[in-house]
Copies of this chain bind each other. A is one copy, B any other.
C-alpha cells in the first residue's frame, strides 16, 4: 500500500522532480534519452502519477458529472455506459448520479457535483422545470454544461435532443394507416418536454388526417408500467377502449397491454399498440411491440463530445444537435399477418 512518488523516481535517477514530471507530460522541453530513461525506471519502480495531486496542481478535477433522471429504464443505463467509456478514453472520470425523477434530488446532485469541482456537467433533467433558473445561472457563470434529451426550451446551453415531434407523428400516422379510427395517446407527464413534443406529433397526425376530437384522447399517465395499467383499468371501467394506443414509452405500453390482455382483449386484433424509446423487452413480449428506436449511443457520445468542446473552448458558440430515429413496426400494431411475429 506504500505509494511511490515522483520524488522516489527523481532520487533514484539523481534528477530533479521537475524533470520527472516533464517526462510524463509531453509538452515540456526534455531530452528524448532522459525522458525514456525516466519512463522506463518509473515503470520498473511501479510509479503511477497521483491523480489527486495532479488535479490539485492543475486546478482541474478531470471529473465529469453526469446526472440522469433514473436508472431503471434501460435507456439511461445505456447513456451512462456510453458516457463512461467515452470520457475514460479521454482521460476523464465520470461521476454518475441519478435523481430518481425528483427535482430536489436533482438539484442536490448538481450542487454536489459542482462542489466536487467537476470540470463539466451532462444533465438529462427530470420531470419539471423548477431547476432551470439554477442551470441558467451556472451556465452564465461559464460552467460547461450539456443537456440531454429533456430540455427546457429557454436553456441557452448546448443540447442534444431527439426529434420527438417527427417520430411521434410517424408512429401515429402508422396507426391511422392501419385503419384505426379511434386512437388514444398515453402521454407521460404534462410538464415533461418529451411528452409535450410527442403529444404535438400525435396531434399533427390527427389534424393531417382530419380525425376529430371525438375520436382521439390524450391521457396523462407517467412513465411506468404501473401507470399504464391504472389508466386501462379506468378506461375499462368506463367502457372506453379505443382501436389503438400510442404510448409515451415502452413501459407504459407494456403495462397497458398486459391489463388489456388480462381482461380478454386481443392485441392487436382488438387493440393495436405502439410504444416509444424502444427497449430490449419490446421483442420479448407477445405480441412484439412496435416502437420508435432512438440512437441512444450516438446521442450520448455526441453529448460527450460537445461537453469536451465546451471545456476546451469556453468561448465557442453553444450547439444543438437534433437526432432522428427509426420506427420498428412489429406485430402489436398490424392486424394482417404480413409482419411475421419473430
Q: Across the interface, which residues of B come within 8 angstroms of A286, CB to CB?
A: 258, 261-262, 285-286
Write out the residue numbers on chain B whose beta carbons fall within 8 Å of the beta carbon of A283: 258
A40 in the interface, Cβ–Cβ < 8 Å? no
Contacts of A61 in B (CB 8 A): 52
Q: Which B residues lie within 8 Å of A56 (CB)? A: 50, 52-53, 56
Interface centre among A52, A78, A141 (most CB of B within 10 A): A52
CB-CB under 8 A for A97 and B84, given A51-B117, A61-B52, A286-B286: yes
A255 shortest CB reach to chain B, Å: 7
Chain B residues with Cβ under 8 A from A143's Cβ? 1
12 A-B residue pairs with Cβ-Cβ distance under 8 Å, sorted by A, are: A3-B117, A48-B115, A51-B116, A52-B61, A72-B74, A72-B77, A77-B77, A80-B96, A258-B284, A261-B286, A262-B341, A285-B286
| A112 contacts chain B at the CB level, 8 A cutoff | yes
Query: Among residues 48 to 85 in chain A, which have CB atoms less than 8 Å away from a CB atom of chain B?
Result: 48, 50-53, 55-56, 61, 71-72, 74, 77-78, 80-81, 84
Within 8 A of B (CB), among A95-152: 95-98, 112, 115-117, 141-143
Within 8 A of B (CB), among A237-281: 254-255, 258, 261-262, 280-281
Instruction: Note all chain B residues with C-beta closer than 8 A to A339.
Output: none
Q: In whole angstroms, how far apart are the Cα atoms of A95 and B254 in the complex?
A: 33
A88 at the interface (CB under 8 A from B): yes
A271 to chain B, nearest CB (A): 14
A341 cross-chain contacts in B, Cβ below 8 A: 262
Number of interface residues, chain A, beta carbon within 8 A: 46
Residue A225 at the chain B interface, CB threshold 8 Å:
yes
| Chain B CB within 10 A, most for which of A77, A97, A342 | A77
Q: Tell me the bound Cα distance from A255 to B112 in angstroms.
A: 41
- Residue in chain B with minimal CB distance to A74: B72
Closest B residue to A97 using CB positions:
B84
Q: When chains A and B are docked, how far (Å) is the Cα of A281 from the Cα of B1?
A: 44
* Given A48-B115, A72-B74; 13 other pairs, CB 8 A cutoff: A1-B141, A51-B116, A52-B55, A52-B56, A53-B56, A71-B81, A72-B78, A74-B74, A81-B98, A94-B96, A258-B285, A261-B286, A262-B341
Nearest CB of B to A56, in Å: 5
A93 to chain B, nearest CB (A): 6
The 8 Å CB contact of A284, one of B72, B77, B115, B225, is B225
Chain B residues, Cβ within 8 Å of A94:
95-96
Complex contacts, A93 vs chain B, CB 8 Å: 95, 116
Chain B CB count within 10 A is highest, among A61, A95, A142, for A95
Q: How far is the CB of A160 from chain B (nearest CB, A)?
A: 20
With A1-B142, A72-B77, A141-B1 known as contacts, the answer to whether A117 contacts B84 (CB < 8 A) is no
Bound state CA distance, A55 and B54, in angstroms? 12
Residue of B nearest to A105 (CB): B85
How many whole Å from A39's CB to the nearest CB in chain B? 16
Q: How far is the CA of A96 from the CA of B284 in the complex (A)?
A: 29
Name the CB-closest residue of B to A88.
Answer: B112
CA distance A239 to B16 in the complex (A): 76
Residue in B48, B50, B115 whose beta carbon sits within 8 Å of that of A51 in the complex? B115
